Amino acid sequence: MQIKTVMVIGAGQMGSGIAQVFAQSNFDVKLNDISEASLEKGIASIEKNLNRSVQKGRLTEVEKVEIMERLSTTTSLQDASDCDLVIEAVVENMDVKGKVFKQLDEITPAHAILASNTSSLPITEIAAVTNRPEKVIGMHFMNPVPVMKLVEIIRGLATSDETYEAIETTTKALGKTPVEVNDFPGFVSNRVLMPMINEAIYTVYEGVATPEAVDEVMKLGMNHPMGPLQLADFIGLDTCLYIMEVLHEGFGDSKYRPCPLLRKYVKAGWLGKKSGRGFYIYGE
């Protein structure tokens, strides 16, 4: 099937990044959010990224204008009625996602594929609220979307081969690398990454080393571009805790138990870079 018109739901950091890469790859894109202010912020962020590309000579001014012309904004899900693909990038909450998919199932044309950018929630469960589970799939982009090459493509229990192939082809058209993953808690990326971050937090909690020392060991010893605690601050400690809870609940295995220090920081409102403090302190 031909995917030409795409709606991205959620104009936050992930949603606006996804909208940008689709518009840059010649798709017509509708960016949707319930808040006009979020849409304005999302579009401003896309424009800022494109201006940077123009300054660096990666894009011409004409190309930038053409990309922006392929983008439109809307606060109504009804505008998904002519879309071939809808990608949901709203808050990581099953109830919220379920409501969105239920509505999309009624609004979108029968051929449309419904995708979720969830980083840990089961695609099979999201698909179950629709009458087209074979057309529901996970497209887990990495942050920042315009830079990162990977897209984890998650098959739900009922996802058809045709749907998978359409999404694989579309991902390649974005200049990204698709990797096929089955529907298990945390998929691959977060199932491997989050326990490493959690273990790094335990080493601080148990007094083995300072956050700086832990990050230095992983950067210099394992050649990681960023230490696990700095990365946790960038992801958001609340998000890390949430994903650890999904893993712990999903597998029922004590190895996924969130570190008490992680819970303590989240309760204190120390959520990382976005709140100004996590394992490190961030200035203005």
- C-alpha 171/C-alpha 187 separation (Å) is 18
**Residue 219 annotated as part of some ligand binding site:** no
- C-alpha 59/C-alpha 48 separation (Å) is 13
Contacts of 107 (CB under 8 A, 6+ apart): 77, 78, 80, 81
**Residue 97 annotated as part of some ligand binding site:** yes
Distances (CA, A) of 276 to 12, 269, 284: 19, 10, 8
**Residue 166 annotated as part of some ligand binding site:** no
Q: Which of 16, 32, 119, 120 is catalytic?
A: 119
With contact defined as beta carbons under 8 Å apart, do 4 and 27 qualify?
Answer: yes
**Residue 26 annotated as part of some ligand binding site:** no
Active site residue 190: yes
**Residue 272 annotated as part of some ligand binding site:** no
Crossing angle of helices 189-205 and 211-222, in 10° steps, is 130
Q: Which two tokens stand for residue 175?
A: 């200049």
Q: Which of 140, 168, 223, 224 is catalytic?
A: 140
Active site residue 182: no
**Residue 40 annotated as part of some ligand binding site:** no
**Residue 2 annotated as part of some ligand binding site:** no
Active site residue 152: yes
Q: Which of 16, 32, 152, 198 is catalytic?
A: 152
Helix (H, G, I), strand (E, B) or coil at 273: helix
**Residue 116 annotated as part of some ligand binding site:** no
Q: Which residues pair with 141 in a beta bridge?
A: 151
173: left (phi over 0), alpha (psi -120 to 50) or beta: alpha
**Residue 264 annotated as part of some ligand binding site:** no
Within its chain, how far is the Cα of 189 from the centroid?
Answer: 11
Enclosing H/E stretch for 71: strand 71-74
**Residue 92 annotated as part of some ligand binding site:** yes
Residue type, 113: I
Q: Which two tokens stand for residue 174?
A: 């974005």
**Residue 269 annotated as part of some ligand binding site:** no
- C-alpha 159/C-alpha 133 separation (Å) is 6
**Residue 119 annotated as part of some ligand binding site:** yes
Active site residue 180: no
List, as residue ranges, the binding site for NAD(+): 10-15, 33, 92, 97, 119, 143, 274
Active-site positions? 119, 140, 152, 190
List, as residue ranges, the binding site: 10-15, 33, 92, 97, 119, 143, 274
